[in-house]
Amino acid sequence: KQEVTQIPAALSVPEGENLVLNCSFTDSAIYNLQWFRQDPGKGLTSLLLIQSSQREQTSGRLNASLDKSSGRSTLYIAASQPGDSATYLCAVGNFGNEKLTFGTGTRLTIIP
């Protein structure tokens, strides 16, 4: 059974700093990994999706990497802004079905 872990559960950094969020998974037989953002009381917004054959994806100030062999993914946020404050969740899709297994998320606070 796939298990997805995100550590730390919460992170606070000053505005302008670069930061890395971590995601680890137990079963390396994945076909994709997706990073989401969730604002308080809102739904999930898809940020980046990495196919199993890819090693990274970039969108603006965000860069997500994937290392299947070690069961890890990172989300790099450059030049953080107060508007980046939110909970970030990673989700792993395994072969054979369309299900996503979610991590418990990292609550990020950017301090102005």
Partner 1 sequence: DAGVIQSPRHEVTEMGQEVTLRCKPISGHDYLFWYRQTMMRGLELLIYFNNNVPIDDSGMPEDRFSAKMPNASFSTLKIQPSEPRDSAVYFCASSRQTGSSYNEQFFGPGTRLTVL
Q: Report the nearest approach of partner 1 to the CB of residue 110 (Å).
A: 23
For partner 1, the closer of residues 80 and 103 by Cβ is 103
Is beta strand 44-51 parallel, antiparallel or unpaired with respect to 10-14?
Answer: unpaired
For partner 1, the closer of residues 13 and 49 by Cβ is 49
Burial category of 101 from C-beta neighbours within 10 Å (exposed 0-12, middle 13-18, buried 19 and up): middle
Per-position DSSP letters for 46-64, written without gaps between them:
EEEEEETT-SEEEETTEEE
Contact positions toward partner 1, by CB under 8 A?
Answer: 31-32, 34, 36, 41-46, 49, 51-52, 89, 91, 93, 97-100, 102-105
For partner 1, the closer of residues 80 and 94 by Cβ is 94
